[in-house]
């Protein structure tokens, strides 16, 4: 009897302990969920963004006009001088963080800058960062300031509540969430008493206490002013829009960018870039750099980086003979030195041109106007080609697809920046389907671009998209296929295997590497986040890259019979958030190399379509391969065991060069070379293996290069 009572008491105690433990685990999440359901209001309306003529009213200035990216908070003052209409009692001025998109002289629109990294204004804690103080010296004027504290976070919760109600099938009037996120960040200053007359000044002190937070990366933002002079709730965008730019800090590195291939007797253009310790282009360097070269390239004695040069300078050099050459730039004053990528000096019909066909602008969810991406690519990075392929929709769902006016702007700016013989642009857009995978669509020379958003049922799947583009001079390029969690679970669908439009795949971008499960630089955005916020975010996000049996990796697609050429890109949005504090882009942007005869749309398009391409994580590693004399990307009929020859030249000593092969036994590495200097010569004859694709990879630590495949016919 006693034993049975003890056993019962032990069981009862155990159950109580289990119940208390369960309550401690389950009740807090349940309580938070109830708070979310009962107290968080959903997004129901938002002021519709529109493009209007700018208002020639007052004058706006920002001081300082530039700050150091990644530096400490800095006080910023924005001064608005009232225009000829004045501001009556009941009228208002709005300070609008974001960026102004100009469709034309009389069509301006304020746009959201997502993840720009600039401070979020607040008025509760004067001693903290980003405190906003508004003042005027005008006599008899009383101002009332309206600002939503923690605007982005609170709007995000309201958007989540909206999505929850929609899942529960509550009817809600359609809105564009981008409008809500833009509107919530505006600061409204109303004239409660008196009036502001022409010439009166209104001062906005951003970070008047502990400074205004600056972005982690080089990025600019606008501080537009909207005015409602008569108090009729009719706000107009001022024509004077000051910009605040974050640039690099003290010069710490010199980068020299040269053509990868040049012929003896040719004059080449070489770019010098001055960077800070984090690799951000700095305008803090001015002066002369000494130049020297090795091999058969003749350079001038020096080059001058001017104050207005944005931290870069160009000069010409002469190729005097064959071989591999390098150019060096030296700053003796600071003890800095930089060496170029290898220059292969040879008389050959083609060249290796570098660029990126995957960037995004303010038209969708990038942070800068479209023209800036072309200027950056051509003048600041030294690329020979690029494409701005804005998303068909923004990234939060429910919003409208790109408007005809937006698409027309995308195509017009693309065409304006195409300079045959100097710089090439390809028009296109991104088909951004979050569950079946993203891909960008490029249009070739002479082809009229068409806009086919996935929100239209006619183009809602990869197969339908390819069917709609059939017969057109177009390329559809899958990218980051191994990204598993993107606004839900993504199961990448590579689409019809035999489509002639799918000839390329982007194996790497700033999001990470999609080559194979377990590859270096896996897809991830929250790995570096610190503290409790980082732990919670990683717990919620889970593993961001696909699993080993997902079929989503590039090697999975090649093994399944897809004949992709391998390229790399940036997927650049020019965000400014610090990845230690918020989800961000952790890796350097990739670039694509194209083997072609000229810098024209026709020549580059033919090479892209023929898969004479390679991709790197950013460095201009020279890498080309042939199978039985045919360049990688070719489709051939092999009479016997194919002979693979190749040449790899790194920007530093090569860590690893390998051939990766797939056959009935799976993937293997039939040839590799570890270390051994900057150059590697490949000469390998494969054993009989039938019609199997092979891919080639090289590593020049800490960068990587991909080339291939060479699919036998």
DSSP string, 517-537: TT-SSBS-SSTT--HHHHHHH
pLDDT recorded at residue 712:
46
Mutual orientation of helices 2-39 and 151-167 as an angle, nearest 10°? 110
Q: Are strands 267-275 and 312-319 parallel, antiparallel or unpaired?
A: antiparallel
Provide the residue ranges of all domains of the chain, joining segments of one domain with +: 59-242, 253-345, 351-618, 638-713
pLDDT recorded at residue 387:
98
Q: What number is the average pLDDT over the span 16-23?
A: 60
pLDDT recorded at residue 587:
93
In percent, the amount of the chain with pLDDT more than 90 equals 70
Q: What number is the average pLDDT over the span 143-156?
A: 91
pLDDT at 700 over 70: no
Indicate the pLDDT class of residue 701, thresholds 50, 70 and 90. very low
**Cα–Cα distance, 500 to 502 (Å, whole number):** 6
pLDDT recorded at residue 661:
87
pLDDT recorded at residue 45:
79
Look up residue 155 and give its two tokens: 């709007």
Q: What number is the average pLDDT over the span 665-677?
A: 88
pLDDT at 365 over 70: yes
pLDDT recorded at residue 706:
74
Decide: helix, strand or coil at residue 614: strand
pLDDT recorded at residue 163:
82
CB proximity list for 351: less than 8 A, separation 6 or greater: 259, 260, 261, 262, 595, 596, 597, 598
Look up residue 352 and give its two tokens: 């290796």
The residue with greater pLDDT, 313 or 706, is 313
Indicate the pLDDT class of residue 271, thresholds 50, 70 and 90. very high
Q: What number is the average pLDDT over the span 594-603?
A: 98
No. of helices (H) and no. of strands (E), the chain = 9, 41
| CATH class of the domain whose range is 253-345 | mainly beta
Q: Which of these, 383, 354, 426, 430, lies nearest to 614 by C-alpha position?
A: 354
Does a cis peptide bond (omega within 30 degrees of 0) precede residue 324?
Answer: no
pLDDT at 24 over 70: no
For residue 54, is it left (φ>0), alpha (ψ between -120 and 50) or beta? beta
pLDDT at 23 over 60: no
pLDDT recorded at residue 12:
61
Q: What number is the average pLDDT over the span 543-558?
A: 93
The residue with greater pLDDT, 407 or 34, is 407
pLDDT at 59 over 90: yes
Q: What is the CATH number of domain 59-242?
A: 2.60.40
Q: What number is the average pLDDT over the span 70-86?
A: 97
Domains 59-242 and 253-345 share a fold: yes
What is the DSSP-derived secondary structure letter of residue 48?
P
CATH 3.40.50.300 fits 351-618, yes or no: no
> Do 366 and 98 form a contact (C-beta atoms < 8 A)?
no
Q: Which pTM was predicted?
A: 0.92
């Amino acid at each position: 009897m006693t034993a049975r009572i003890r056993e019962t008491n032990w069981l009862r105690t155990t159950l109580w302990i289990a119940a208390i433990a369960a309550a401690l685990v389950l009740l807090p999440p349940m309580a938070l969920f109830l708070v979310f359901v009962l107290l968080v209001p959903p997004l129901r309306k938002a002021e519709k963004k529109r493009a209007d003529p700018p208002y020639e009213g007052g004058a706006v200035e920002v001081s300082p006009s530039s700050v150091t990216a990644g530096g400490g908070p800095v006080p910023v003052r924005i001064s608005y001088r009232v225009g000829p209409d004045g501001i009556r009692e009941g009228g208002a001025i709005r300070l609008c963080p974001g960026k102004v998109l100009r469709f034309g002289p009389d069509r301006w629109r304020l746009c959201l800058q997502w993840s720009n990294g600039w401070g979020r204004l607040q008025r509760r804690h004067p001693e903290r960062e980003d405190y906003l103080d508004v003042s005027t010296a005008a006599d008899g004027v009383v101002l009332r300031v309206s600002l939503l504290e923690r605007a982005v976070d609170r709007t995000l919760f309201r958007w989540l509540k909206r999505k929850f109600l929609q899942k529960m099938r509550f009817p809600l009037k359609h809105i564009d969430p981008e409008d809500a996120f833009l509107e919530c960040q505006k600061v409204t200053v109303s004239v409660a008493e008196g009036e502001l007359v022409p010439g009166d000044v209104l001062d906005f002190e951003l970070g008047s206490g502990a400074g205004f937070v600056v972005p982690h990366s080089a990025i600019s933002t606008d501080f537009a002013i909207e005015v409602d002079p008569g108090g009729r709730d009719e706000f107009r965008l001022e024509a004077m829009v000051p910009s605040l730019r974050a640039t690099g800090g003290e010069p710490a590195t010199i980068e020299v960018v040269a053509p990868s291939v040049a012929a003896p007797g040719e004059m080449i253009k070489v770019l010098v870039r001055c960077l800070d310790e984090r690799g951000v282009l700095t305008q803090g360097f001015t002066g002369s750099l000494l130049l020297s070269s090795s091999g058969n390239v003749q350079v001038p004695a020096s080059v001058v980086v001017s104050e207005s040069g944005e931290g870069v300078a160009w000069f010409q050099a002469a190729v005097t003979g064959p071989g591999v050459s390098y150019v060096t730039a030296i700053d003796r004053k600071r003890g800095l030195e930089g060496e170029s990528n290898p220059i292969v000096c040879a008389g050959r019909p083609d060249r290796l041109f570098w660029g990126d066909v995957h960037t995004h602008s303010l038209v969708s969810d990038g942070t800068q106007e479209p023209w800036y991406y072309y200027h950056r690519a051509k003048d600041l990075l030294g690329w020979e080609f690029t494409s701005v392929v804005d998303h068909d929709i923004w990234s939060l769902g429910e919003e409208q697809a790109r408007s005809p006016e937006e698409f027309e702007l995308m195509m017009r700016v693309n065409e304006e920046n195409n300079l045959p013989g100097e710089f090439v642009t390809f028009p296109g857009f991104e088909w951004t389907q979050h569950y079946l995978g993203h891909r960008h669509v490029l249009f070739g020379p002479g082809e009229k671009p068409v806009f086919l958003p996935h929100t239209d049922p006619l183009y809602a799947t990869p197969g339908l998209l390819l069917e709609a583009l059939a017969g057109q001079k177009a390329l559809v390029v899958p990218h980051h296929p191994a990204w598993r969690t993107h606004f839900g679970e993504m199961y990448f669908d590579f689409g019809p295997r035999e489509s002639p439009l799918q000839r390329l795949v982007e194996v790497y971008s700033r999001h990470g590497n999609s080559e194979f499960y377990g590859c270096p630089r896996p897809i991830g955005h929250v790995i570096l986040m610190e503290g409790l916020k980082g732990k919670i975010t990683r717990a919620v996000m889970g593993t961001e890259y696909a699993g080993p049996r997902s079929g989503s990796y590039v090697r999975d697609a090649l093994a399944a019979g897809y004949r992709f050429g391998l390229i790399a890109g940036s997927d650049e949005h020019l965000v400014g958030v610090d990845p230690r504090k918020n989800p961000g882009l952790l890796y350097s942007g990739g670039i694509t190399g194209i083997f072609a005869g000229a810098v024209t749309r026709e020549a580059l398009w033919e090479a892209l379509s023929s898969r004479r391409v390679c991709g790197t994580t950013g460095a201009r590693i020279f890498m080309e391969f042939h199978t039985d004399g045919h360049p990688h990307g070719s489709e051939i009929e092999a009479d016997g065991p194919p002979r693979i020859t190749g040449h790899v030249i790194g920007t530093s000593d090569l860590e690893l060069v390998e051939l990766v092969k797939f056959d009935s036994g799976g993937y293997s590495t039939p040839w590799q070379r570890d270390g051994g200097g900057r150059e590697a010569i490949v000469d390998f004859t494969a054993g009989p293996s039938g019609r199997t694709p092979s891919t080639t990879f090289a590593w020049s630590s800490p960068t990587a290069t991909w080339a291939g495949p060479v699919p036998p016919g």
